[in-house]
Structure 1
């Protein structure tokens, strides 16, 4: 459990983890080497929010995994602004050399933000990463991220275009995960994505409240994968 968690506003947030929930859901998990590849979502960009744990979502997942297995080793290769092909080219090799048994892949968002978005090409890059990582023995987490078309930075004339592309990315990533045996976390469509207060001052990246929500969704999905429950 993250330090100070029980006394923060986060503990009362209905979309965030309850006290003791992560420990119950991750009990007995087998993972000892956790890697993250991707863009700014993976890197953890986000402004602090008073009353919420000051950890990005992947760092929060690492913290909760390590609370169960203190020997857990963590590598986060995320770099902002990268497209899926750049992530595969620059991060897949180092991730494989790390020899992870659990990998979170967050990629495709920067592709989908552009008019040049090619869903088939992004699927190919994601499939290549998932396949190589699973062949190496890792379980892979994929993500349907918040639809950032709701973020304050997007002017009304382009919101619907961005929304359609982000929806396409989320649907296709979920289908790809199902086909390739990845553990998919669906953050897309969550009510918090429509709240302007979920975003950082830059108007596009989620703040640490949204990170806490996504961490909770991920840990709950991992708990379901493990067959664990929390009353």
Structure 2
């Protein structure tokens, strides 16, 4: 698609259509989907012309409901929440919801603190992963995109890279479904970022939702291959 072509959700090659999502999630067993974390978990961002104003998590929930109409959905994500606040304010609420699929994304707000304690951040994220795993729910998570082109943002880029390393390590340890956006071509789109230069626009979240659906489908396919034959 040329740079002069007006892209919409219907023509975006990175976005799945509703029918494609239904096919990929046809065998999804989850009926209680919870999302916890910060503004990325919540899906805060500016509208995008030609795209539905809907967060990535809301889109995934809609995809799950399309194949299982009885799916329940809870999103406790809050803009500005630090890792300690997520544990204090959200974790028990999510566990009380008794979900079977939980998305965990937080830690970024810790990185903006002048006295950021990266070790404490990592411990807090692992506490969430471990608690959710003990509940029996499948975990999903995201490694953030490399959108820090300006050299002045290099210190934050290094911190985000560290957060991603923590996320990848925990995803492997707790068998979480991981969508790794660090080198995703989405990051190169000039209309990706909201005016605050922190959050994706809705067009970006549409792609994130599609990648999460693909990742969940891949997990289901892997589990099907591992299932015993009788």
- 3-state SS of paired residue (1:16): coil
| 2:170 is the counterpart of 1:176 | yes
- CA shift at 1:122, angstroms? 1.7
Q: 2:45: which partner in 1?
A: 46
Q: Which moved more, 1:86-95 or 1:104-113?
A: 104-113
Q: CA deviation at 1:157?
A: 5.3
Extract unaligned runs of 5+ from structure 1: 1-7, 151-155
3-state DSSP of counterpart to 1:140? strand
Q: What residue is the counterpart of 1:187 in the other structure?
A: 181
Match of 1:81 in 2: 80
Conserved? CA contact 1:187–1:217, under 8 Å: no
In the TM superposition, 1:207-226 aligns within 5 A as 207-226=201-220
Q: Is the Cα contact below 8 Å between 1:123 and 1:176 reproduced in 2?
A: no
**Structure 1 runs of 4+ off > 4 angstroms?**
none
Matched ranges for 1:124-203 at <5 A: 124-150=123-149, 156=150, 158-203=152-197
Give me the whole-angstrom Cα distance separating, in 1, the residues matched to 2:18 and 2:67.
15
Q: Which runs of 5+ in 2 are unaligned?
A: 1-6, 223-230
Look up the SS of the partner of 1:59 in the other structure: helix
Q: 2 CA distance for matches of 1:117 and 1:68? A: 42
Q: Secondary structure at the match of 2:62?
A: helix
Moved more, 121-130 or 15-24: 15-24
The number of equivalent residue pairs is: 216
Residue 112 (structure 1) shift: 2.5
User: 1:11 touches 1:19 (CA, 8 Å); kept in 2?
Assistant: no
* Superposed CA offset, 1:22-56 (max 9, x none): 11211111111111101111111111111112211
The alignment's TM-score, normalised by the length of structure 1, stands at 0.87
Partner Cα separation in structure 1 for residue 145 and residue 90 of structure 2: 23
